[in-house]
C-alpha cells in the first residue's frame, strides 16, 4: 500500500524515539522493530492480561500481535498512531484466543506466579496469598479502570503513554486511575505495582519475536517457485546461507520439467510430492544434504505420533535447521516450520497457503493437519556439477518420456497411475475436446470450477512458470558445461518457444475464480478447440526440448564411460 497523506509527510527528522524505530521497521528493518517490541511489550502483555486474565495466554497474544504488526506495518498510515494501532491488534489476537480456547476470563490461579524458592515455607504461602488477593482486586475492577491500572502499574508507563495506547486523553486516564485506586485502597497500591511488574515479559520475549521475523523468507507462487516443495527447499537453503536459486532447485527436483494429468479431471497437478520420495531424494542429493523423512501417521490412532513429530521439530530447529512439513496449514503440501514456542506446542513458519498473513503462520493445532516431516541432516560435500547435470537430465527425460508414473505417498505407497510427460499433453488436449464433459448447467459450479481448475490453475497457468524455470536452469548450466552447452541452450530455446504458446493459452483459459461468465465460456466448443490446438503446439516444443536433453545426456554418459 502506498503511503499517502500524513504518513508521506513524515520524515525521520520530525520523529523521535520509538517513532523513528517504527519508521525504520516499516521499511523492513527487523532490528529497529526489535526496539519497538522492547518499548511496547509490557504494554501489550498488560493489555492482553486485562482481557484474558491469564499471563501465559497474554504473552501468546502479545507475541502473535508483534509478528502480525510487523507483517502489516505497510497499512499503518501514521507512525505516531502506532500505539493505538497496536492495541487494536492485541484485541483481535485476544478475541482469537478466546474463541479458540473458550477461555474463562480472570482465572486467578493462572496469574499467580510460583513462590520464590529462596523464601521459607511460611513466606512462600504468604507471597502466593498476597498475589492472589492483589490480582483478585485488580480483576474485580470495572473493565476500563482495570485496563488503565494494569497498563500504568505493569512497567511504570506514564499516563500520557497509557492514553496514547488506549486512544483517550490523559484526563480520562487520570480519572480511571483515581477510581481504580479508590477501590484498590491505598495500602494495596504498592502491592499491585509489585505483583503486576513481576509478570512483565523477560528478555526472551523479544528474542522469540525476532527469531520468527528474521527467519525463513516468504514462499509464494509468484515470488519463489510455483511448486511448494521446491520453494520450501530453496527457502531452507537460503536460510542456511547456501547460494542456490529457485530455478536451480526447480531443475534438480524435476519440478521444472514435469507435466501430469490425473484422469479424469485432476486438481493435483501442482504437487511434486505426488510422485513419491524420488524428487525429495534427488533434490537433497544434488544440494549435498542428508535428509530424513518422518512418515505420516494414522489420524484415527495417533498414539505417540505427536510426540515423535514435536521432538523431531524441536531438535532440528535447535540445531539451526528449519523443517519442511507436509500440511500444518492449508492442504497437505510442503511448508516450512522455522520456529517454535512452549516446547513445540506452538509452531511458527511459512506457507504458500497463508495469503492473508503474508505467508506467516502460528499454529497450535498443527498435528491434526501434519502429514509428515522432511528433516535436513548434515551438510556433505556437494556432488560435482557435471554429475548433478547428468542426474537432472536423466530425471527430466524420464518425466517427459514415461507415459505413466504411480501416484504415491512420499514413503512409497502407490494409489493409482498418473499420465505423465508428453503423454499428459495429449490427455489434456483430448479432455478439452470431449464435448460431453462440458455440458454442465449454469448453476453446476462444482463441475465448472473443476474444469477450470484442471485446465487453467493447475494446468496451463502453472505450466508456464515451470517451463520458464526449465529454460533458466538449462541456460545457467550451459555456462560451464562446454561439452553439452549447445544442446542445453537449444533445449532452453525450445522451452522459451513453448512459453510463447503457453502465454496465448494462459490468456484464453479461465481461472477457477474468474467471473462466472468467463468460466462458463469453457462450454464454447470453438474456445476449447483453440486451447486444445495450443496444448498440442506446446507439446511439440516440449518434445523438441526433450530431444536436446536426450542428446546432452547421451554425450555426458559417453564421456564418463
99 contacts: CB under 8 Å, gap ≥ 6: none
3-class DSSP string for 455-508 = HHHHHHHHHHHHHHHHHHHHHHHHCCCHHHHHHHHHHHHHHHHHHHHHHHHHHH
125 compared with 18, residue with greater pLDDT: 18
Q: How far, in Å, CA of 106 to CA of 141, rounded?
A: 11
Pairing mode, strands 289-294 and 323-327: unpaired
Residue 106 pLDDT more than 60? Answer: no
Dist. CA 351–CA 347, nearest whole Å: 12
* Arithmetic mean of pLDDT, 96-119: 54
**Which of 76-80, 355-359, 467-471, 500-504 comes out lowest in average pLDDT?**
355-359
The string of pLDDT tens digits covering residues 281-335 is: 999 999 999 999 998 887 777 778 999 999 999 999 989 899 999 999 888 899 9
**pLDDT tier, 558 (very low <50, low <70, confident <90, very high otherwise):** confident
* 167: region left, alpha or beta (phi > 0 left; psi from -120 to 50 alpha): left
Q: Has residue 339 got a pLDDT over 90?
A: no
Give the residue among 70, 71, 82 at the shortest CA–CA distance from 10: 82
Phi, psi dihedrals of residue 418, rounded to the nearest 5° = -110, 145
DSSP class of 314: H
User: Does pLDDT of 6 surpass 80?
Assistant: no
Residue bearing cell 530447529: 317
418: helix, strand or coil: strand
CA distances from 504 to 384, 499, 520, 533 (A): 39, 9, 19, 11
pLDDT category at 342 given cuts 50, 70, 90 is confident
- pLDDT for 527: 97
Tens digits of per-residue pLDDT, 534-548?
999 999 999 999 999
Highest mean pLDDT of the ranges 120-124, 311-315, 413-417: 311-315
Of 14-23, 246-255, 476-485, the poorest mean pLDDT is in: 14-23
| 2 class by beta-carbon count within 10 Å (0-12 exposed, 13-18 middle, 19+ buried) | exposed
**What pLDDT score does 187 carry?**
59
89 alpha carbon, distance to own chain's centre: 20
pLDDT at 102 over 60: no
Q: How far apart are CA 42 and CA 157, in angstroms?
A: 9
| C-alpha cell at position 504 | 496465448
pTM for this one?
A: 0.80
What's the burial of 279, exposed, middle or buried (CB within 10 Å: 0-12/13-18/19+)? Answer: buried
Confidence of residue 11 (pLDDT cuts 50, 70, 90): low
Tell me which residue has cell 454442465.
440
- Return the percentage of the chain with pLDDT > 90, whole number: 62
Give the DSSP H or E segment for 3.
none
Mean model confidence pLDDT for the chain: 88
**Which of 267 and 148 is assigned the larger pLDDT?**
148
Q: Which residue has the cell 536452469?
A: 473
Neighbouring residues of 559: CB distance < 8 A, sequence distance ≥ 6: 483
- Give 483-537 pLDDT, tens digit per residue: 999 999 999 999 999 999 999 999 999 999 899 999 999 999 999 999 999 999 9
Q: What b/e string do you get for 141-159 counting C-beta neighbours within 10 Å, with b at 16 or more? A: beebbbbbbbbbbbbebeb
Cα(475)–Cα(484) distance, integer angstroms: 11
Phi, psi of 301 (to 5 degrees): -135, 70
Q: Which residues contact 513 (CB under 8 A, 6 or more apart)?
A: none
Which of 228, 224, 313 is CA-nearest to residue 273?
228
Q: Is 417 helix (H, G, I), strand (E, B) or coil?
A: strand
Mean pLDDT of 390-399: 98
- Give the pLDDT of residue 10: 55
For residue 250, give the nearest of 288, 215, 221, 276 by alpha carbon.
Answer: 221
Amino acid at each position: 500500500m502506498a503511503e499517502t497523506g500524513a504518513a508521506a509527510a513524515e520524515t525521520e527528522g520530525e520523529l523521535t524515539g520509538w517513532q523513528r524505530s517504527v519508521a525504520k521497521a516499516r521499511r523492513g528493518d527487523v532490528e529497529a522493530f526489535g526496539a519497538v517490541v522492547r518499548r511496547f511489550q509490557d504494554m501489550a502483555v498488560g493489555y492482553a492480561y486485562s482481557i484474558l486474565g491469564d499471563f501465559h495466554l497474554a504473552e501468546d497474544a502479545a507475541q502473535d500481535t508483534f509478528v502480525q504488526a510487523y507483517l502489516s506495518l505497510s497499512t499503518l498510515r501514521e507512525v505516531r498512531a502506532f500505539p493505538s494501532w497496536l492495541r487494536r491488534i492485541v484485541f483481535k489476537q485476544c478475541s482469537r484466543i478466546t474463541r479458540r480456547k473458550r477461555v474463562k476470563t480472570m482465572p486467578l490461579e493462572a496469574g499467580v506466579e510460583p513462590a520464590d524458592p529462596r523464601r521459607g515455607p511460611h513466606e512462600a504461602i504468604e507471597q502466593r496469598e498476597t498475589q492472589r488477593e492483589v490480582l483478585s482486586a485488580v480483576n474485580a475492577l470495572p473493565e476500563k479502570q482495570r485496563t488503565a491500572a494494569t497498563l500504568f502499574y505493569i512497567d511504570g508507563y506514564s499516563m500520557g503513554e497509557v492514553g496514547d495506547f488506549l486512544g483517550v486523553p490523559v484526563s480520562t486516564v487520570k480519572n480511571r486511575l483515581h477510581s481504580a485506586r479508590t477501590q484498590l485502597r491505598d495500602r494495596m497500591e504498592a502491592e499491585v505495582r509489585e505483583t503486576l511488574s513481576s509478570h512483565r515479559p523477560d528478555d526472551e520475549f523479544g528474542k522469540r519475536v525476532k527469531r520468527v521475523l528474521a527467519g525463513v523468507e516468504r514462499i509464494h507462487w509468484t515470488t519463489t517457485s510455483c511448486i511448494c516443495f521446491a520453494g520450501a527447499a530453496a527457502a531452507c537453503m537460503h536460510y542456511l546461507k547456501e547460494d542456490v536459486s529457485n530455478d536451480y532447485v526447480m531443475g534438480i527436483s524435476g519440478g521444472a520439467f514435469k507435466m501430469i494429468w490425473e484422469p479424469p479431471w485432476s486438481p493435483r497437478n501442482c504437487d511434486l510430492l505426488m510422485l513419491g520420495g524420488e524428487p525429495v531424494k534427488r533434490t537433497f542429493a544434488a544440494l549435498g544434504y542428508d535428509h530424513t523423512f518422518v512418515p505420516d501417521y494414522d489420524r484415527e490412532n495417533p498414539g505417540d505420533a505427536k510426540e515423535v513429530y514435536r521432538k523431531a521439530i524441536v531438535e532440528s530447529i535447535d540445531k539451526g535447521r528449519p523443517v519442511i512439513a507436509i500440511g500444518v496449514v492449508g492442504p497437505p503440501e510442503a511448508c516450512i516450520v522455522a520456529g517454535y514456542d512452549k516446547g513445540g506446542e506452538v509452531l511458527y513458519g511459512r506457507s504458500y497457503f497463508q495469503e492473508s498473513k503474508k505467508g506467516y503462520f502460528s499454529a497450535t493445532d498443527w498435528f491434526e493437519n501434519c502429514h509428515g516431516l522432511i528433516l535436513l541432516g548434515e551438510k556433505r560435500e556437494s556432488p560435482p556439477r557435471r554429475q548433478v547435470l547428468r542426474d537432472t537430465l536423466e530425471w527430466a527425460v524420464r518425466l517427459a518420456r514415461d507415459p505413466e508414473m504411480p501416484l504415491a505417498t512420499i514413503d512409497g505407497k502407490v494409489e493409482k497411475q498418473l499420465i505423465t510427460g508428453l503423454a499428459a499433453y495429449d490427455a489434456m488436449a483430448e479432455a478439452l475436446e470431449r464435448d460431453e464433459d462440458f455440458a454442465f448447467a449454469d448453476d453446476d459450479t462444482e463441475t465448472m470450477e473443476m474444469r477450470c481448475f484442471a485446465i487453467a490453475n493447475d494446468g496451463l497457468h502453472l505450466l508456464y512458470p515451470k517451463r520458464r524455470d526449465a529454460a533458466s536452469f538449462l541456460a545457467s548450466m550451459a555456462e560451464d558445461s562446454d561439452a553439452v552447452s549447445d544442446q542445453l541452450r537449444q533445449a532452453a530455446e525450445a522451452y522459451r518457444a513453448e512459453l510463447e504458446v503457453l502465454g496465448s493459452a494462459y490468456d484464453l483459459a479461465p481461472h477457477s475464480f474468474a467471473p462466472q461468465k468467463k468460466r462458463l465460456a469453457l462450454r464454447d466448443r470453438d474456445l476449447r478447440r483453440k486451447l486444445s490446438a495450443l496444448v498440442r503446439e506446446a507439446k511439440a516444443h516440449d518434445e523438441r526440448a526433450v530431444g536436446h536433453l536426450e542428446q546432452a545426456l547421451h554425450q555426458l554418459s559417453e564421456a564418463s564411460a
